[in-house]
Amino acid sequence: MIVLKKPPEAQLMRDCGRAAAAAMVRMADSLRPGITTAEIDVIGEEVLSEYGAIPSFKGYRGYPAAVCISVNEEVVHGIPSGRMLKEGDIVSLDIGAYKNGFHTDHAWTFPVGEISTEAKRLLSISRESLNQGIAQAKPGRRIGDISHTIQSYVEQNGYSVVRDLTGHGIGRDLHEDPSVPNFGKLGTGPSLRAGMTFCIEPMVCVGRHRVNTLDDHWTVVTADGSLSAHFEHTILVTENGPEILTQWDQEGGADA
């Protein structure tokens, strides 16, 4: 069942989204060769606390950390550790915030120092696929319109979208209906209505879309070892179109 958020609930989710956005900004500012993924995780959780939020992921189905941190061929759900980032890596930071009885979820992939031309293009295409998917989140459209738009843009640019994992509804629960795949057909799936909140999160691979899960039972990697990027925003559908609840200023700050 898809739960529509009333205006007071949407406002609570906006407040929660600011916490996730602020944590993303602070973690992004920390990125440099030599920092460990565990150190980044600590920063993310500390910022959530400053905003009166707690991490949605910590303890979820046994997940041991506040942030999922995935490097290079790791698609999602990388567990923070003593691994040091290196010049040329790309790193995906995925953080969920819980505040006021609601969750928001946000992911972004960043360069570490100077990265390859291929990696730069991957980040650009993946980020734009998220933008194009969000633009479809209007009343009267369907989930499949978001899915098809993302898939078409990614594949036209020679990349692939992961099919084993999807975006999702979000609200009082971290994962709610509907599922939001990154592939599909126009005019299919649930109709979009004002008050719907969900996460759009393209996971894009340079190579083929197939993935494997490592022995830690969490980290998902590309089966062919190719680079992967992950971008995600929590979206509120309004009568005037999509509102990004996890928006932040890429010049270095969370939006007010």
CA angle 237, 240, 246 (to 5 degrees): 45
Q: Domains in the chain: how many in total?
A: 1
* Residue 255 covered by a domain: no
pLDDT, tens digit, 9 for 90 and up, residues 144-186: 999 999 999 999 999 999 999 999 999 999 999 999 999 999 9
In a domain, 63, yes or no: yes
As given in the structure block, the two tokens for residue 123 are: 């980040």
Tell me what pLDDT residue 248 has: 83
184 belongs to a structural domain: yes
Buried-exposed string 182-205: b where 16+ CB fall within 10 A, e elsewhere? bbbeeeebbebebbbbbbbbbbbb
In a domain, 105, yes or no: yes
> Cα(14)–Cα(61) distance, rounded to whole angstroms?
25
> How much is the pTM?
0.96
Residue numbers of the domain that contains 81: 7-244
Span 19-54, pLDDT tens digits: 999 999 999 999 999 999 999 999 999 999 999 999
The domain that holds 36 is classified in CATH as: 3.90.230.10
In terms of Cα–Cα distance, which of 206, 196, 174 is closest to 68? 174
> Does residue 256 form part of some domain?
no
In a domain, 70, yes or no: yes
Give me the pLDDT at residue 250, please: 56
> Is residue 28 assigned to a domain?
yes
In a domain, 250, yes or no: no
